[in-house]
Amino acid sequence: MTGTTTLGETAPTAAALPGASPGRHPGLVLTALAMGGFAIGTTEFAAMSLLPAFAPDLGIDAPTAGHVISAYALGVVVGAPVIAVLAAKVARRTLLVGLMVLFALGNGLSALAPSYHGMLLFRFLAGLPHGAYFGVAALVAASLVPRERRSQAVSRVILGLTVATVAGVPLANVIGQLVGWRWSFGLVAVPALLTAVSVRILAPLGRPAVGASALRELGALRRGQVWLTLAIGAIGFGGLFSVYTYLASTLIDVTHASPATIPMVLAVFGLGLTLGNLVCAWAADRALMPAAGLTLVWTAVALALYPFSVGSVWTLAPVVFLIGCGGGLATILQTRLMDVAEDAQTLAAALNHSAFNFANALGPWLAGLALTAGYGLPATGWVGVALALGGLVLWAASAALDRSGASSSKSNPV
């Protein structure tokens, strides 16, 4: 398939791809793709912290405003597979440009939303390109480098999102406080449009493979290893979100820290996420499945430390950093899907982000049940441990299939 590799092959360089120019440097393409990740990461995470600002402006209470966050996540879950299937015959560069234009439009309209229901619609629209963008961008990134550097190339794209948690989200909050929440959403359209222009100029065309079709993309859903890989992310990654969602509340109500420390601790989480993304990508290029298993073990241990660390910011912050490092699992699983999806690469790659958004819903929901049952905010760490171990069980099942000879190209239908 154009722009992707199969097991045992070396990916072509950018100059060898259809539509590519020998003068184009892979690093510039990866930077352009990462800019799109930065835009997406900024609006995804900043929207949560801007909730207290836009709720009263739209005439709704905080719990109702939470549906705006859910609308974006629903857009990701729906948009990733639908766009991947319907755009099977579209050149990857063209698709990426279109996705970033749609993303910019959704955020621009969010800034102008006249009502709560309008905001719901526009956030759903903004979420539609999210999963498909990261999936297709990952495939383009992997096609630019030799096979043994695929994960590191993918991590460069996701690096934009992790950097957003350190720089973009705090900046969006400052803008929201100084000039209003609408500017925070509207300004995200700027890097999105810059991404569209940069990708159009720098990226190889990435023509679809001969015979590409919606039906062939749907073939990914018949492969057991694809489902197992998605399930690892959907369950195993939920533990991180079970803690992150209630981190600010824990800092105020349990640690008794000042509100001013919240952005700093969230930035520490973002630093861990960034470092974990880079280290996990390096490890995945050397031993992909062992790297996934070790990352899940790391996450479970870090989450187990969380309930014991909440007494002080000085003990909590290092543990939050360690939990953030486990976010590198996203890059590992993105590469794993390239190996098990065979000729349905686009759909499988996009579904990875649907799986992580499922985790984003599952973790907080289960943690909320624990809180409702009266176990207290520190217990969100134990919920996270259970989810990480659940992901580890699924990883063990996938690894066992590999060892038994059910390779990614021969995985049984489910």
- CATH 1.20.1250.20 domain locations along the chain: 13-212, 220-414
Residue 1 has a pLDDT of 36
Residue 384 has a pLDDT of 94
Q: What angle do CA 182, 187, 191 make, to 5 degrees?
A: 155
Q: Give the highest mean pLDDT range of 19-33, 105-119, 259-273.
A: 105-119
pLDDT at residue 324 above 80? yes
- Mind listing the pLDDT tens digit for each residue in 127-138? 999 988 988 898
Residue closest to 344 by CA, chosen among 352, 23, 159: 352
Tell me the C-alpha distance between 37 and 34, whole Å: 5
Residue 7 has a pLDDT of 34
Tell me the C-alpha distance between 235 and 396, whole Å: 13
- CA distances 126 to 102, 169, 258, 346, Å, are 7, 17, 33, 20
State the Rg of the chain over Cα: 20
Q: Which amino acid, 329?
A: L
- Mind listing the pLDDT tens digit for each residue in 204-246? 877 766 555 565 666 666 778 888 999 999 999 889 988 887 8
Residue 357 has a pLDDT of 80
Residue 40 has a pLDDT of 92
- 3-class DSSP state of 211: coil
CB 213, CB 61: distance < 8 Å: no
- Mind listing the pLDDT tens digit for each residue in 357-385? 888 778 888 888 888 888 888 999 999 99
237 or 6, which is more confident: 237
* Structure token digits, residue 390: 């659940």
State the greatest distance between any 2 C-alpha atoms of the chain, in Å, as a whole number.
Answer: 62
- CA distances 152 to 27, 138, 169, 196, Å, are 12, 10, 24, 23
Q: Which amino acid, 360?
A: N
- Mind listing the pLDDT tens digit for each residue in 328-356? 998 899 888 888 877 667 777 778 888 88
272 CB neighbour count, 10 Å cutoff: 26
Q: Domain 220-414 has what CATH class?
A: mainly alpha
- Mind listing the pLDDT tens digit for each residue in 269-298? 989 999 999 999 999 989 999 999 999 999
Residue 48 has a pLDDT of 72
Residue 37 has a pLDDT of 92
- CA distances 305 to 151, 236, 255, Å, are 29, 17, 15
285 or 414, which is more confident: 285
Q: H or E stretch including 278?
A: helix 261-284
105 or 359, which is more confident: 105
Q: Domain 13-212 has what CATH class?
A: mainly alpha
Q: 62 pLDDT band (50/70/90 cuts)?
A: low
